[in-house]
Amino acid sequence: MKRFLMILATAGLLGAAAAADDVDFHAILAKVDEQTNFKGDASAKVTIQSKKPGEDDNIMQAQYFRRDAANKFMILMLKPEVNKGQGYLKIDSNIIFYDPESRKFSKLTGSGNFQDSNAKNSDFQASSLAQDYDVVETSREKLLAKDTWVITVKAKTNDITYPKRKVWVEVSTNLLLKSEDYSLSDRLMRTSLYGKYVNIDGKFLATRMRFEDNLKKGEVTDLILENPSLAPLPDAVFTQAYLEKVNN
């Protein structure tokens, strides 16, 4: 646990200072979005490791495709065998799930848990902090050795996964390091950690993410992204027909 947090540089507050009055925090959120959203296509292999007390670790692998400009993603499950061929397709605000065994599609929400893990379906979409949230409170703190803005935000609409978030953004890079995710009743639901960013043609991709369930102690999900690529993808990848075709 400690080793992972050291890698992410996202654990333990070491101090605090008042935020500057003249800082445009909405612009900082927009910069977080701009730096981590891709103009063209992107893809990567994803390993999802879910840990629950008293259970064996659940390790899954998937191929992940994104087209941020069109607000689309596709996730195709590769392992374990029982999940192979299952797929998630997001187009605009709609997310659908394909089960190759029943050959049926079903509609999902962004707030739903991904494959019974602590990751949400919405964790795979493009960042939209500036679009989805209003800034309500700010401060400046140290997160390990990193100087960060701490920005508390509230959702503009009711269809956002978390109505309130408290995000830690590194001052020098404008990259998201940590988020505390709250319910409408202001209850801390989840702590999200982001790290080991890689620079791909001027854009940044977090290749290590950790999602900790604050209501169920010990339940943790790690996401590891490997072999990121910006190679153009066929339009057909982002269709229901593609999910059916790869399972034939």
What residue has token string 């990259």? 175
Spell out the long-range contacts of 146-150 with Cβ–Cβ below 8 A and sequence spacing 24 or more: 146/9, 146/170, 146/177, 147/171, 147/172, 148/177, 149/19, 149/23, 149/25, 149/28, 150/19
Report helix, strand or coil for 112. coil
**Which residue did the predictor score with more confidence, 37 or 1?**
37
Among 22, 9, 3, 40, smallest CA distance to 145 is for 9
User: What is the domain range of residue 174?
Assistant: 2-246
Q: pLDDT of 22-53, one tens digit each? A: 899 999 999 999 999 999 999 999 999 999 99
Percent of the chain scoring above 90 in pLDDT: 88
Percent of the chain scoring above 70 in pLDDT: 92
pLDDT band at 93 (very low <50, low <70, confident <90, very high): confident
- CA–centroid distance for 156 within its chain: 19
Pairing of strands 104-108, 133-143: unpaired
pLDDT band at 18 (very low <50, low <70, confident <90, very high): very low
pLDDT at position 17, please?
Answer: 41
Tell me the pTM. Answer: 0.89
pLDDT at position 14, please?
Answer: 38
Domain count, the chain: 1
pLDDT band at 247 (very low <50, low <70, confident <90, very high): confident
CATH classification at residue 79: 2.50.20.10
Q: pLDDT of 64-88, one tens digit each? A: 999 999 999 999 999 999 999 999 9
Question: How much is the mean pLDDT over the chain?
Answer: 91
Among 11, 15, 145, smallest CA distance to 3 is for 11
Mean pLDDT, residues 167-196 taken together: 97
244 residue type, one letter: E
